[in-house]
Structure 1
């Protein structure tokens, strides 16, 4: 009989989460992502410069609130189907 997610976690087995980042499916192996990790999933290479700003909107998160905007430096608990919209703009 296969392990439940809780049993897998107790034994140190990896679980994969399928999420959506800018309309593309991505697979990650942990249930919490940082702002920077999400930006790296959205852009390769990540745009840099003194005027580059990122905004991350999310839906269907495994936390309350389940949707909103992630602050720079923040973290978010995810589940299968969590969706991110990451935009990059230039400060003016």
Structure 2
């Protein structure tokens, strides 16, 4: 009985553990429309978590449509997110070594 309780507690504890173990640099995402050159939609950052697998975050640009979010600001946000998660990954790796 106690083994099942311990297993369920560990499973419940891992539900809230969002420790990143790997992060990839921001990659540009393009979309090709008919009779037009490819349009930059934004930047995508992929993060691998310890218990939750891979998640992709998308930092959108809309320079071509409304001009509200420029490419520079979207890339700056993606790079800031990448550096923040990279610091967490490095801290986790140094702690587990």
Normalised TM-score (structure 1): 0.28
Normalised TM-score (structure 2): 0.27
- Indicate the structure with greater helix content: 2
- Indicate the structure with greater strand content: 1
Based on CA coordinates, which of the two structures has the bigger radius of gyration? 2
> Relative contact order (alpha carbons < 8 A, sep ≥ 6): 1 or 2 greater?
1
